[in-house]
Every structure is written in C-alpha cells, then in structure tokens.
C-alpha cells in the first residue's frame, strides 16, 4: 500500500496544533483505558474458565461481562486509531494520484468519520436514556443496561472530534501543498 510520507513516526503529533496534540493525548489515554478493559475481560475469562473446570464455579454472568466490556473498551480505540492514520485504506485507485488529491480525499473520509461518530454518539446516548426509562437490565447480573450504553458515548464523541480535526488537518495540508 502506498501512502504519502508522514513527517514523523506514527504516534506523534506532527503538524498538529495545540488542540490536536491535546486531542491525541486524550485519545491515547482513552485507548489505554480501553486496553485495560480488555485485559480485565481476559483475566475474568481465565478465572471463569478455571473455576468452571476445577470447582464447577464460573464467574456469574461472564458472557454478559465480556459483551458489555468489549463494547465499552472497543469504543475507546477509534479516535486514537484515526488520529494516527491507522484506519484501513484501500489505495488501489489513488496510489498514482498526487499527494494533494489524496489529502482532499482523506479530508472527505475524515469528515464522514466525524459525522458517523457524532451520529453514533447521539443515538447511543438517546438509546441509553430510553433503556433507563424502561429499566432494562442484564439477564444474569441484573445490571442496568443504560449505564453500559452511556459509557460508550465518550469514545464515540472522541471519534467524532478526531474525524473533524483530521478533516481540517488534511484540508490545511492540501492547501499549503504539504504532506500530512
């Protein structure tokens, strides 16, 4: 795959302004939290499997915990991935385009990611409050489902901010003819 060269190694805020660097730092912290959620899920799964096999006592609601934790943890990765240009890109058609054209296309894609993140954050929040009103809870643990849904919203808000920030970043870079 061919991408325009980047001024700095992945994970750095090359060309980012103060807001971009702050957004990257917050997104990185969110990704670490998401990773820790997955580490906790793995540890709980091991305890549950060992408990089930050795003493016939799995962790109650282990499947529910995996489901809820995975949803929350995964929502925290999207912004950091996008800010580091870690998205999946198919550049078969654009590999021979100028860097400026590719940046304009990346700006459009980033805008769409920002819009998608905003819509998903909005609808997830609305859904969480609807679940709160009806009092839906998990089947085994009887945990309120609205709390889990609401915990996903910050990750989607960060994704929206990252998308819109990167769209502006690519537009600025394309206008000045620089490589993003």
Report the predicted TM-score, pTM, of the whole model to 2 decimal places. Answer: 0.87
Strand partners, 137: 144
User: Closest Cα partner for 69 from 42, 38, 47, 48?
Assistant: 38
What are the boundaries of each domain within the chain? 18-87+94-176
pLDDT tens digits for range 78-124: 999 999 998 877 777 888 888 889 999 999 999 999 999 999 999 99
How far is the C-alpha of 15 from the C-alpha of 24, rounded, in Å?
Answer: 12
Q: How confident is the model at residue 13 (pLDDT cuts 50, 70, 90)?
A: low
Q: pLDDT of 163-173, one tens digit each? A: 999 999 999 98
């Amino acid at each position: 795959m061919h991408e325009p060269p980047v001024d700095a190694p992945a994970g750095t805020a090359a060309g980012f302004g103060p807001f971009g660097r702050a957004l990257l730092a917050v997104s990185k912290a969110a990704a670490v939290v998401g990773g820790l959620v997955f580490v906790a899920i793995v540890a709980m799964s091991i305890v549950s499997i060992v408990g089930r096999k050795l003493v016939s006592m799995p962790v109650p609601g282990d499947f529910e915990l995996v489901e809820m934790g995975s949803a929350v943890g995964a929502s925290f990765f999207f912004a950091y991935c996008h800010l580091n240009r870690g998205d999946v890109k198919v550049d078969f058609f654009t590999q021979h385009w100028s860097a400026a054209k590719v940046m304009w296309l990346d700006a459009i894609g980033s805008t769409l990611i920002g819009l998608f993140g905003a819509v998903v954050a909005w609808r997830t929040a609305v859904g969480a409050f609807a679940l709160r009103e009806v009092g839906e809870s998990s089947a085994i643990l009887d945990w309120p489902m609205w709390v889990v849904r609401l915990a996903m919203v910050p990750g989607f808000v960060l994704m929206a901010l990252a998308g819109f920030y990167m769209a502006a970043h690519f537009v600025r870079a394309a206008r000045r003819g620089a490589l993003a």
